[in-house]
Structure 1
Amino acid sequence: MSIKVIKLNGSVSPFAGISFVNELFDKSGLSKLIDTELGMRVQTIGYQYSEIIRNLSNVFISGGDCIEDISTHLKDHLKAIPNNQVPSPDTVLRGITELSSENTQFTSTSDIIYDFNINTNLNRLNIKSLILTNQLEAGKSYDFDYDNQVLPNKKYDAKKTYKKNKGYVPGVATIDDKIVYLENRDGNANVKFEQASTLRRSYELLLGENISVNRSRMDAGSYSKEIIDVVDEHSKLFYIRANKSTSLFEQIKEISDWQTVEINYKKYEVASIVFVQFYEERNYRLVIMREKTSESQIDAFTQDTFKYCSILTNDWESTEKEVIEYYNQRGTSEKIFDVMNNDFGWKHLPFSFLNQNGAFMIIMAMIKNFYNYVLKKVSGVFTDIKQTTRLKRFVFRFIAVAGKWRYEGRKWVLKLFSDRPYELLKI
């Protein structure tokens, strides 16, 4: 067998599917929103913030994994899109730097100073973009998750985290699979340190756009009195995993009425008690789940061979099983970190400093949210693309199609070499 090569005149792009994504960005109103919220970057020659962010989204949704891919792999393909102005990687980096904010310093009771990066403008823009694309609706209440992620890196200002590696520990709030708030934090800051203030800022920014919180869900990194106060104030219901303590297990040892339930095909014993550790007057509920361990070693706290898990809540209506199953769904929100690290650039932070990388992370979160919007549009036509499709599969099944822009009949026409139903997309 021999391979015969026929060269075509003119440029045929192997990434022609990105033209649809580029068009969706503008037609959705995101370009106008960005320039309205952030202001005009230039008056005549140069690139607006909307052009920088749109082309950054084009790069990553085409399968790129760093800003330099604009020039090394995708520049000619992006320039082939009519009226698409493509900035250089240096221009993109300058634009993001301009959108960064100065760090805020907080001092602990041990007189240790920690840097936090609070970028209200970009976080507000992200929420507004979710409302614009109908992923959030003003006037509605949503379930809210918060977590801190260790983001390993060797940047100039990275500090040793509790996992013994250097990096940052950003605080991230999500609604379903959408990041709605992010603050970058020094890697050596305890996750509970100033978390109450971070949460208050995130709740209030959502409220400023008329988005309220129905239920808040957090792990034991949020189990402290001042954090619970803020969460309770801004949520109808909350579910926070409780830390182990001697006083807590003194209460647990008094429980005699354990009920057996099945969760994920395993048998557990569950019970509820009134929570009195921080405040007895609020009538909080502690839901306890335990399972028999296979080890014969006695637990130091409980003096028995059970493994315990406790969830603090103000929800007295749900059964123990319902509370536990709802809390366990946190895994869905935690998956977003894997997606951001591997698909949307968090693993390859482009700057040396916490504040600039914080701006980049929020912009990439906004691009990930835009990708959700793209998936919803495309999955309505392409049966092998779902709203949960990861980026690599999306690139293979939608972006990677040969195509060429031609000017015909006084308008630009995209000609695709494919029998896939691109023509059915309504943009």
Structure 2
Amino acid sequence: MACFDRYSLPLSTPSEYAANRYRTGVDLLLSLWPGAADALDEAIAADPEFALAQAARARLHAIRAEIGDARAMITNAVALVGRNGTPRERSHVEVLSLAIHGQAAKALAAALEHVDRWPRDVVVLSLPLGAFGLFAFSGMADHDQARVALCERHARHFEDDDWWFLTYRGWAHGENGDVRLGRTLTQRALELRRHNVNAAHAVAHVLYEAGANDEADAMIAGWLPEYDRSGILHGHIAWHAALIALERGDTKRALAIYDANVAPAASLGVPINVVSDTASFLWRMQAYGHAVPAGKWDDAARYASDYFRQAGFPFADVHMALIAAATGATAALDERASALDALVEAGTLRAGAVVPAICRAARAFAEEKYAKCAAILEPVAHEVVRIGGSGAQREIVQDTLLVAWMRSGEAGKARALLDQRLHRRPSPRDMRWLNQLVTA
């Protein structure tokens, strides 16, 4: 009996049980819901020759930053698929292998070629999408539009009630500026599959971009308790709630959420999320004029010291620089910035010179050299998108520039930016700042 995945693509396994556990495991993988590892392990146990099950398990290892396990598993999948896989399966495994082995540019090109032939192969289609996908970390200045284009090119291949495609199509549009469409699609995706972490995350982002703080707060409060604390994005979704409280000026609640869910001692997330969420929350709090309680920056620095030591991963570089600047680790910050300069000079840092510029601006800001910070950031502000991540995550750089302008006497520039932001979405924090500038 022939076996198929949820999208009617043939699977090279004679075991319907293995295929069933694979379908379940892939759905859990694509929704980031706990249980994917068990389901995929059961598929592999039922058919140890089932290459795609091993490839999906490798992908899950990679998402969880278990790189050694991911590479061992994908290497085994490559060997298996070479013996008994179809052309689609061999290409599928090869794309995942490129991504897992850190060959991001080749993986992106191969993924795009693959989905042109097999657009419903959603494990591969998922790779370029999302805040941490191959497009986001490509260094492209137009990666938000590239995600929209990819989704729209293949939309005809998916039903209107496909929860996975709705999630990422909505995410793509929301991040690219069509917040209304993004909200419609992501909220529908969450309705269709409530235990879909990526949809809950996407809804949090589109509500943030819409300035719908009350709705975002209510959604997170109602949904997060259903998601186990061990889930990869548990701390990050709580981070969104902490930012809402911070935007309202409720530092007591913001810190309570941070301490309970986001801080290194509380979060069970992967290093990139823990480092970026702790650094960006504490930096925002400090930049907005609130005192960061003693020890919190040191805790963040202690956790971060085990990760991202080598420069060259722009999104991590920026957040490591924030931590170094805030804790006075200027030698480490300068060393990172110089290493990034060398990569820019060699042409191997795809995000370009904006990355070391942000690092140096962070140092200037921490040292209260606000005019210098603004002078560094202003010429590269339009390039910040190239570091990847989401608009909400990257906004920390714009906030830094804005506060630097306000504190260095550039009230006109600050007012113009605040006016632009407030025309895009309501913000109680931005309105407070604008009122301060108007009455100063």
TM-score interval w.r.t. the shorter chain? Answer: under 0.3
| Relative contact order higher in (CA < 8 Å, ≥ 6 apart) | 1
More helix by share: 2
TM-score by structure 2 length?
Answer: 0.24
More strand by share: 1
**Greater CA radius of gyration, 1 or 2?**
1
TM-score by structure 1 length?
Answer: 0.25
